[in-house]
Amino acid sequence: MINDLRIHLSIIMYMFGCFSIMIYNAFVIYRKKSRSKAMKKNTAGWIKSVCQQITANDAAICPRHKKHLIKNLAHVEELIAFSHALNFFNLGYSKDFYNKYMSILVESKIFQSLALAYKKKKNEEQAYFAHFVSQHPSVAKNAEGICKNTTDSIVSFTVNSDIYCRVNVLKALCKLGDMHGIISVLQFYSDKPAFIHHKLLAEDLYGFAGDKEVLALTLWEKHKFLNDNIVLGVITFIAMFSDRFKTAFLPVLQSQSANADIRLALIRYYKEYNFEPAQPILIEYLNQTDSYELAMAAALSLSAYPGFATIHALNTALESENWYVRYNAVSSLVELGAYRDRFSYNAQSRDSNVLQMIDYKLDHANEKYVNASEVII
């Protein structure tokens, strides 16, 4: 009897749980559709409002439209709809129409006051405001260039911010080409262990609207005052476009006290950008056993340095205890054109695993050569 009661109670609770989930999902779907419908309505309203302002052919923004902007754009939902409307003009309707409206908007200085208003908002609202500026950087400029009051407000968002706000603030500053703001944010976070992932940092920096070489040089001059994560992001950023730091990076590559991830990034940098003084250092990394990850990267990077010393070092690396070091060494030897008659290996002194790697890589290289020849013919 007791068991039957427990079974019935379990069934009832299970059915109640399923019913609750169905009700919750229905509510979420309804709310999502309602918000989507409201967003479309708000976006259409902003499109109409912007059109009225432009068709009036006024050089300055009309008081009614200005009041409408100040009143509504302080709410993030309206700012999202406004951004959609601007994207409609910029990406779909007319680029000239968009540029004309943005010039009027900049003259009104509305976004200076909005930036101050968003300083008092929640973190996620500040993050979206920064995102909006990154999409439409003109709003943070004036006749002299970047509006310092607006950018100072955006930089202040980083205090007690989450990852989304940090990324969006940095992206906005990069899109504006505000080097001073970028350095301020990076220095502010230099004493914190986690700012953003170094790859995200590099991508944001790569979107810099000004001279990337000047930004890279400025950041590298200050790298000793930045934490390892930020320095790694700066190196990743530089590796995306510049070969002018080969000499500057060399002392860090040589330093055994430098962060291992930073040295790993530099080993990869010297694969992309050949620099002969780096070759003996890469060979040293290939031979070390303290960090096989560095040896693995060095084995691949040496493919950019043809010559007897490289071939000899890679052949020696085929005796490594680490499988990946051996595999990368084989890959580089094949890429350098050190084919079977130049490998100088003794089948009895090499394990079958290495010989299979060599045969596989050679066959694969020959297959690629044949396929390329067929395309040419």
> What string of pLDDT tens digits covers the 377 residues of the chain?
556 677 777 777 878 778 778 887 777 776 666 666 777 888 888 888 888 887 776 667 788 888 888 889 999 999 999 999 998 888 777 778 888 888 888 888 888 889 989 988 999 999 999 999 999 998 888 767 788 888 888 998 888 778 888 889 999 999 999 999 999 999 888 877 667 889 999 999 999 998 999 999 999 999 999 999 999 999 999 999 999 999 999 999 999 899 999 999 999 999 999 999 999 999 999 998 888 999 999 999 999 999 999 999 998 898 888 989 988 998 898 888 875 444 544 444 455 566 677 766 666 655 543 333 333 32
Q: Which pLDDT score is estimated for 375?
A: 30
Q: Kindly state whether residues 292 and 307 are assigned to the same domain.
A: yes
Distance CA 106, CA 85 (A): 17
Q: Kindly state whether residues 265 and 233 are assigned to the same domain.
A: no
Q: Which pLDDT score is estimated for 376?
A: 30
Q: Is the dihedral of CA 324, 327, 332, 338 positive or negative?
A: positive
Q: Domain limits at 292? A: 243-377
Two structure tokens written together for 32: 């999502």
Q: Which pLDDT score is estimated for 51?
A: 83
User: At which of 108, 125, 153 does a domain end?
Assistant: 108
**58 exposed, middle or buried (CB, 10 Å; 0-12, 13-18, 19+)?**
exposed
Q: Which pLDDT score is estimated for 347?
A: 43
Q: Kindly state whether residues 225 and 258 are assigned to the same domain.
A: no
pTM above 0.85, yes or no: no
Q: Kindly state whether residues 271 and 211 are assigned to the same domain.
A: no
User: H/E/C letters for each residue in the chain?
Assistant: CHHHHHHHHHHHHHHHHHHHHHHHHHHHHHHHHHHHHHHHHHHHHHHHHHHHHHHCCCCCCCHHHHHHHHHHCCCHHHHHHHHHHHHHHHHHHCHHHHHHHHHHHHHHCHHHHHHHHHCCCCHHHHHHHHHHHHHCHHHHEECCEECHHHHHHHHHCCCCCCHHHHHHHHHHHHHHCCHHHHHHHHHHCCCCCCCCCHHHHHHHHHCCCCCHHHHHHHHHHCHHHCCHHHHHHHHHHHHCCCCCCHHHHHHHHHCCCCCHHHHHHHHHHHHHCCCHHHHHHHHHHHHCCCCHHHHHHHHHHHHHCCCHHHHHHHHHHCCCCCHHHHHHHHHHHHHCCCCHHHHCCCCCCCCHHHHHHHHHHHHHHHHHHHHHHHHHC
Q: Which pLDDT score is estimated for 35?
A: 65
Q: Kindly state whether residues 238 and 148 are assigned to the same domain.
A: yes
Residue 370 in any domain: the answer is yes
Query: Closest Cα partner for 155 from 139, 138, 142, 172?
Result: 172
Residue 14 in any domain: the answer is no
Query: Closest Cα partner for 365 from 348, 340, 347?
Result: 340
Residue 127 in any domain: the answer is no
Residue 79 in any domain: the answer is yes
**200 exposed, middle or buried (CB, 10 Å; 0-12, 13-18, 19+)?**
middle
Under 8 Å between Cβ of 215 and 251: no
Q: Which pLDDT score is estimated for 11?
A: 78
Q: Kindly state whether residues 297 and 223 are assigned to the same domain.
A: no
Q: How many independent structural domains does the chain possess?
A: 3
Q: Which pLDDT score is estimated for 193?
A: 64
Q: Which pLDDT score is estimated for 194?
A: 65
Q: Which pLDDT score is estimated for 161?
A: 79
